[in-house]
Amino acid sequence: MFLKFGGVILLAVSIIGGFVMAGGAPMVLWQPPEFVIIFGGAFAAFLISNSWTGVKDAFRAVVKVFRGKHLNQAYYQRLLTLLYQLFELRRRSGVSVLEDHIERPGESSIFTESGMLENPRLVSFICDNLRLVALGKVQPHELESLLDSELETMEDDMLRPAHSIQSIADALPGFWYCSGCVRHYCDHGSHGWAG
């Protein structure tokens, strides 16, 4: 988290510092009407181009960026331990005992101890695919393509907030240009050059 905030601060200091070093007056950068045009227009376009769910997902994604990293080594060790315990349970006790855990993961001691219940999408992915394997509904050679397509779908869903934010980022130069045109027109109009 410190790294992200440090990066934002370094970015601002570098840009403003470079501007001042080149002989610019920093107060020239303070243009509230242009900020209203650029950021207000971008935010309005963001609201128009996304559903309410998409807007909420995007804000949650931005908060996650600054909240910190929860996908660390300990998380992956807990995940691998969970998978090992489930596979070992099937090997030792059979499919019927495994079914009790994957049908009701919230009541399962294995899932509860792993701490993976905090990620319902992951738990659903594990249980759904183990259910297919345990019931023998899918052949081993079919499982790889099934997992790939499900992972691709999940990745598309998780990247949707980033794509909606990126589309607004791509439009920001246009809003900046509009604000510059408005500012130019207002400056020349105040000197009697409009028309």
Confidence of residue 1 (pLDDT cuts 50, 70, 90): low
Identify the pLDDT of residue 91. Answer: 86
Mean pLDDT of 3-9: 82
Contacts within 8 Å (CB) and 24+ apart, 7-13: none
Q: Rounded mean pLDDT of the chain?
A: 83
Q: Best-predicted range by mean pLDDT among 9-13, 30-34, 130-134, 166-170?
A: 9-13
Identify the pLDDT of residue 195. Answer: 45
Q: How do residues 95-128 score in pLDDT, each as one tens digit?
A: 888 888 888 898 888 999 988 888 888 999 999 8
Identify the pLDDT of residue 99. Answer: 86
Judge whether residue 138 has pLDDT over 80. Answer: no
Mean pLDDT of 175-191: 70
2, 66 contact by CB (below 8 A): no
Mean pLDDT of 146-159: 89
Identify the pLDDT of residue 191. Answer: 52
Identify the pLDDT of residue 142. Answer: 82
Q: How do residues 35-93 score in pLDDT, each as one tens digit?
A: 888 888 888 888 888 889 889 999 988 888 777 667 788 889 999 999 999 989 888 88
94 vs 136, higher pLDDT: 94
Confidence of residue 174 (pLDDT cuts 50, 70, 90): confident
Closest CA to 42 of 182, 189, 167, 186: 167
Identify the pLDDT of residue 194. Answer: 47
Question: Percentage of residues in the chain with pLDDT exceeding 90?
Answer: 10
| Helix, strand or coil, per DSSP, at residue 70 | coil
Contacts within 8 Å (CB) and 24+ apart, 75-81: 78/114, 78/115, 78/116, 79/114, 79/116, 79/122, 81/114
pTM for this model (two decimals): 0.63
Closest CA to 153 of 124, 117, 118: 124
Calpha distance 194→108 (Å, rounded): 74
